[in-house]
Chains A and B, each alone.
Chain A
Amino acid sequence: MGEIASIVSCGLYVPLWRLERARIAEAMGWLGSAAAHGPSGSRAVCGWDEDALTMAVEAGRRCMAGAQSRPLDALSLASTTLPFADRSNATLVAEALDLPESARTSDHAGSLRAATTALAEAARRGAEASTLVIASDARLARPGSAAEMEYGDGAVALLIAGGQPPDGCRPMATVSAVAHVSADFIDHYRMSGEPFDYALEERWVRDEGVAKLVPGAISRALDLAGLTPADVDHFAMTGMPGAARRIAQSAGLVRARVGEGLREDCGELGAAQPFLLLLSMLSAAAPGERLLLAGFAQGVDALVLLAGEGAAVRARDELARALARSRLEPHYTRYLAHRGLLVPDYGRRAERDQRTAQSVAWRKHRELAAFIGGRCGACGAVQFPKSRVCVNPECRRADTQCEHRLAETSGRLRSFTEDWQAYTPHPPCVYGNVGLEAGGNLLMELTDVAPGELEVGAEVRFVFRIKDCDRQRAYRRYFWKATRG
């Protein structure tokens, strides 16, 4: 079987914050359970204003930036922690990425296989469509659980193009074959609306689930690709550490180098973990080498891929870049608070009604979701929000503005403050006047900055984040914030 689709770009997003496992052990070790063991390394945790949706936007931006403005037909968003159960999360991500209105958007949820299944579907659409597949997860874990130690938050985006990559484009990898096994084997589950996973005994999962279900999927995928197990150069599989090695052995992948995740720096990314493993494999793959990726959850998705030229460098860069920026979260209790697992007294200001006027939000959705301002056709002044009459005091002409997207531009801080009185889940609330690279000024909230590290003139870029949470109506609204460049 020939190649059915190409992966032409990738983007990895890992939140800035890292929680050292030693901090968890310190706080929860008294339980004598999982929290007492293995406290090496750190796991990535979302900031208070991040979730699976915002991380997906960041991974998507990164991926699209590396894709030379390719027209896009579809966006698939895979996650088990999408913030909205009924409201297309993918559609909001598509708006934030300023994808064309005609793009087909779909949420893939309900299983840790969501991403591999979405990738397989995108690959099968082959030549007819190019699809951005983004996997993102920010799973909650019960304090003191093994999951709390092992889980990490993050997102990976892959851009899938048709069978024949466009001219001048060297695909990072091509998908040769996909195979599926569906089996209602419950290694863990989470009921709708429940915060935490319920995990079953690891030894049973390993022996009765993984060992019995994965090899079948692997051999079918290899058959479809016309390969033998000995042809596989790299293998990676989601699940417990060590399981992949066991499977490689039992499935006869004798030459395969077994790819690993990023336990020390990041943790297990849930639905995004298979994509992270794919990047990990690609980072070590020479052009022409064969990759086998298996995702396990209520069955198996197995994908056979062929590494492209330059894939290793691209994947290594992406991994290094995403991991380069990190900051330790010194407060275990703040991590709990940001995940909603501890409710501190945020003061009376936190009581403010955060009702969203949805008619306004829709009227201004281009501004709010895609961070689109106006550019005056007469004088060139860029302004946010886009307005009917130009803000330039020398111009003030009416109805001259066209859309100008600010998300991918930068700015410089013209003034700022660290406000200990304004409500934010992560005091102080930092905000300031940002002089836009394109001209214009905008008073913006800053995120992922610590007191004392800002100065006037500092370069900032823009990120899509949670703006406010309306607890009364169980609603989250989003907008763009500035962060250090």
Chain B
Amino acid sequence: MSDGIRDKVAILGMGCSKFGERWSCGADDLMLEAFGEALADAGVERDAIEAAWLGIFFDEQSTGKSSLPLAMTLRLPGIPVTRVENLCATGTEALRGAAYAIAAGVCDIALAMGVEKLKDAGYAGLPERTKGTFEDLYLPSSTAPGAFAQLASAYAARHGYTIEQLRRAMAHISRKSHDNGARNPKAHLRNRITEEQVLGAPMISYPLGVLDCCGVSDGAACAILASPRMARTLGRKDFVSLKALQLAASNGVEMGHQSWDGSSTLTTRIAAARAFREAGLERPRDQIDLMEVHDCFSITELVLMEDLGFSDEGRAPHDVLEGRYDRDGAIPCQSDGGLKCFGHPIGATGLRMAYEIYLQLLGRAGERQLGSPVMGLTHNLGGIPNRNVASVAVLGLAT
């Protein structure tokens, strides 16, 4: 039995662009913005990077396919560069590629870059895309909010809530994230909102109003990883290392089998269990100090609290309303504002989450700093509840 990735990979430096409607920037500008910060943070030369991974989802909307956009933008010196795409887990997938290369011992320094330039679509929301040549012939003409909105109806039915009760907890989630985002200069949306505003917002996909939805933004984030040995050689003492990095892909059960009732995300449960094992966390509720989860929609964050095991089954609305996941709660969730305020430039998101955990663990989160956390979690859910890729990463201070 392999002992996994725990403490085999150090984060040498990270960078994150300002997220938002970056009308004047292309994907190249965003990548350079994040990379500049990461390189300075890591304190190494560009040419010390031995391999790189690029995460981008909508290649057809911005950069085109392949790893070339990264290699050419950074003028990397002919090193191996790999482009990855795994739905909304794309950023974490890039991190995983680079981390596995370090853990395998095939290189000492590697780069993971995630970027997405969404705001060239010409309209609000995510760009339209094909689901596949066969899928287009039978799957509904759906949108992301519509796919996730269904979690609400299924969750309410399963646990005996009314939609109105759920919506109050969902409104709390959005309000909380905006409170956090308001403290973050890199967030796209920095306004505070009230729960009444959330509840009264125009309906996007019942029961999700527009303020239950995350923003649509441009952004990039990156990590420069190294082996712990290299980190120490470079003089690092307190550094953040990867404790777990897990991924679970749907095999079609949710789409086609009656055992799934639509009220949860199966893959999150699988990835979380494996990640906690990999990180050696036996009591994650007590051991995880903060988390960044895939709050593409308020209802997603709500059900994830149970899927990740932080709330008991059917109790998430209560825990949310009691402030358990607020910044002063037991396990602050989205201390940087989350997808809600950062928007979701898909390739960048997983790395943007890791960036916040990284800053918090190193005590560098400024106005947002949450005491002295030692262990944080990131989670992505790529796709739709019916079929998706979930990633769970645990980051901690190196011991």
Interface status of A429 (Cβ within 8 A of chain B): yes
* Contact among B128, B149, B261 for A419, CB-based, below 8 A: B149
Interface status of B257 (Cβ within 8 A of chain A): yes
Q: Is the CB of B153 within 8 A of A391?
A: no
Interface status of B1 (Cβ within 8 A of chain A): no
Which residue of B has the minimal Cβ distance to A454? B153
* Contact among B141, B150, B253, B260 for A445, CB-based, below 8 A: B141
A451-B206 in contact given A439-B258, A441-B257, A443-B255 (Cβ < 8 Å): yes
| Bound CA–CA A424/B128 (angstroms) | 13
Contact stretch, chosen from B90-98, B132-140, B349-357, B388-396: B132-140
CB distance from B132 to the nearest CB of A (A): 9
CB distance from A443 to the nearest CB of B (A): 5
* Contact among A353, A441, A477 for B256, CB-based, below 8 A: A441
| Bound CA–CA A368/B134 (angstroms) | 10
Interface status of B386 (Cβ within 8 A of chain A): yes
CB distance from B328 to the nearest CB of A (A): 33
- Provide a sorted-by-A list of 26 A–B residue pairs whose CB atoms are within 8 angstroms: A356-B137, A357-B137, A384-B256, A385-B134, A387-B252, A387-B256, A392-B257, A414-B154, A415-B151, A415-B263, A417-B145, A417-B147, A419-B143, A420-B203, A421-B143, A422-B141, A429-B142, A431-B140, A433-B150, A435-B258, A439-B258, A441-B255, A441-B257, A442-B256, A456-B154, A468-B136
Interface status of A444 (Cβ within 8 A of chain B): yes
Which of A357, A361, A384 has its CB near the most chain B CB atoms (within 10 A)? Answer: A357
The size class of the interface chain A forms with chain B is 35 or more
Which residue of B has the minimal Cβ distance to A383? B256
Which of B140, B204, B253 has its CB near the most chain A CB atoms (within 10 A)? Answer: B140
* Chain B neighbourhood of A348, CB < 8 A: 121-123, 128
Q: Is the CB of B257 within 8 A of A419?
A: no
CB distance from A62 to the nearest CB of B (A): 24
| Bound CA–CA A436/B259 (angstroms) | 12
Interface status of B262 (Cβ within 8 A of chain A): yes
> Per-position contact with B for A375-418: 1 when CB-CB < 8 Å, else 0?
00000010111010001110000000000000000000011111
Q: Is the CB of A479 within 8 A of B138?
A: yes
User: Main SS of the interface on chain B?
Assistant: loop
Interface status of A349 (Cβ within 8 A of chain B): yes
Q: Is the CB of B262 within 8 A of A415?
A: yes
Q: Is the CB of A477 within 8 A of B142?
A: no
Interface status of B26 (Cβ within 8 A of chain A): no
Interface status of A32 (Cβ within 8 A of chain B): no
| Bound CA–CA A381/B124 (angstroms) | 41
Interface status of B125 (Cβ within 8 A of chain A): yes
A429-485 residues with Cβ-Cβ distance < 8 A to B are 429, 431-433, 435-436, 439-445, 451, 456-457, 467-468, 477, 479
| Bound CA–CA A395/B149 (angstroms) | 30
Q: Is the CB of B206 within 8 A of A424?
A: no
Q: Is the CB of B206 within 8 A of A428?
A: yes
Which residue of A has the minimal Cβ distance to B202? A420
Q: Is the CB of A456 within 8 A of B142?
A: no
Q: Is the CB of B128 within 8 A of A456?
A: no
| Bound CA–CA A392/B157 (angstroms) | 24
Q: Is the CB of A440 within 8 A of B146?
A: no
Q: Is the CB of B125 within 8 A of A421?
A: yes
* Chain B neighbourhood of A393, CB < 8 A: 251, 253, 257, 259
B140-169 residues with Cβ-Cβ distance < 8 A to A are 140-143, 145-147, 149-151, 153-154, 156-157
Which residue of A has the minimal Cβ distance to B123? A348
Which residue of B has the minimal Cβ distance to A468? B141
Which of A361, A416, A428 has its CB near the most chain B CB atoms (within 10 A)? Answer: A416
* Contact among B137, B143, B386 for A364, CB-based, below 8 A: B137
* Chain B neighbourhood of A354, CB < 8 A: 136
A348-375 residues with Cβ-Cβ distance < 8 A to B are 348-349, 351-354, 356-357, 360-361, 364, 367-368
B347-389 residues with Cβ-Cβ distance < 8 A to A are 386
Interface status of A347 (Cβ within 8 A of chain B): yes
* Chain B neighbourhood of A391, CB < 8 A: 251-253, 255-257
Q: Is the CB of B138 within 8 A of A417?
A: no
* Contact among B130, B138, B146, B263 for A429, CB-based, below 8 A: B146
CB distance from A380 to the nearest CB of B (A): 12
| Bound CA–CA A441/B141 (angstroms) | 18
| Bound CA–CA A479/B140 (angstroms) | 10
Q: Is the CB of A420 within 8 A of B205?
A: yes
Interface status of A423 (Cβ within 8 A of chain B): yes
B155-210 residues with Cβ-Cβ distance < 8 A to A are 156-157, 203-206, 208
| Bound CA–CA A367/B149 (angstroms) | 27
A418-B257 in contact given A431-B142, A479-B137 (Cβ < 8 Å): no
Interface status of B254 (Cβ within 8 A of chain A): yes
* Chain B neighbourhood of A440, CB < 8 A: 256-258
Q: Is the CB of A418 within 8 A of B386?
A: no
A347-B133 in contact given A440-B258, A443-B255, A445-B140 (Cβ < 8 Å): no
Which residue of B has the minimal Cβ distance to A396? B251
Q: Is the CB of B137 within 8 A of A417?
A: no
* Contact among B139, B206, B253, B255 for A417, CB-based, below 8 A: B206
Q: Is the CB of A424 within 8 A of B141?
A: yes
| Bound CA–CA A420/B149 (angstroms) | 12
* Chain B neighbourhood of A428, CB < 8 A: 205-206
* Chain A neighbourhood of B147, CB < 8 A: 417
| Bound CA–CA A381/B253 (angstroms) | 11
* Contact among A361, A368, A422 for B146, CB-based, below 8 A: A422
Q: Is the CB of B138 within 8 A of A467?
A: yes
